[in-house]
Structure 1
């Protein structure tokens, strides 16, 4: 009996290795991501970002989004999500309850991000860009800012600094 089980285990392991080497993902189904509605200069910047995004982020393979939108992207499971053309964060909006003009930001490869702990992960939103780009990183992918390293080049190149 052991002889029969061992080849089955080896075959399953070989199949997994083959799928992984082919770049296949075990993730099925699209990730629900609310699509923003950019306007003005943000449309051009988000369109450029759509064409510049990497296929994987922090080793996580890309996934489809639902609804399908050129303003959204997702990677891995649980999904890291990106939305381009979102409104300015409440914490930076004068008059909002959360307004805090002294909120700290982080810089990753020339791109400034506002980090906000939103319970089940961090939301990072670009600062001083023609379009606000929001990236949600679940705590499962800690340290969360590592994802920004793979996105900073595309954002820096595609989304110009605001004048």
Structure 2
């Protein structure tokens, strides 16, 4: 059943999905998009402030966005998203080591249809990626345009 703008209520929270970043994925992503030594080289990483190889925050964001899209927006009870508008308040709270199990949670923060596409309204999704101890490793506020039922 499709969820439209009218169906989404601020304050609603969802556990969306889990993911794990493997060492080979971390290194491959870093080599292509974020070539800092502590993302690509274990020896250099051991001498960094992190003390070990860690995932690029951009990698964590990209995978979290994929999980958000596939397991929430396009899931069985999918959301009628028309498109994204932006990401605000992006923060990386803790480094992500290879093999860490991460969970994506989503809270609907706000909605508004002022100055929006005539067929939709803005919905702000607070996304939190947490480690196995429930501690946030990344948070952001993602704004999408969600189709109205009447469109």
Q: Normalization by structure 2: what TM-score?
A: 0.30
Q: Normalization by structure 1: what TM-score?
A: 0.29
Kindly indicate which of the two structures has a greater share of residues assigned to helix: 1
Kindly indicate which of the two structures has a greater share of residues assigned to strand: 2
Specify which structure has the bigger relative contact order, considering alpha-carbon pairs within 8 angstroms and separated by 6 or more residues. 2
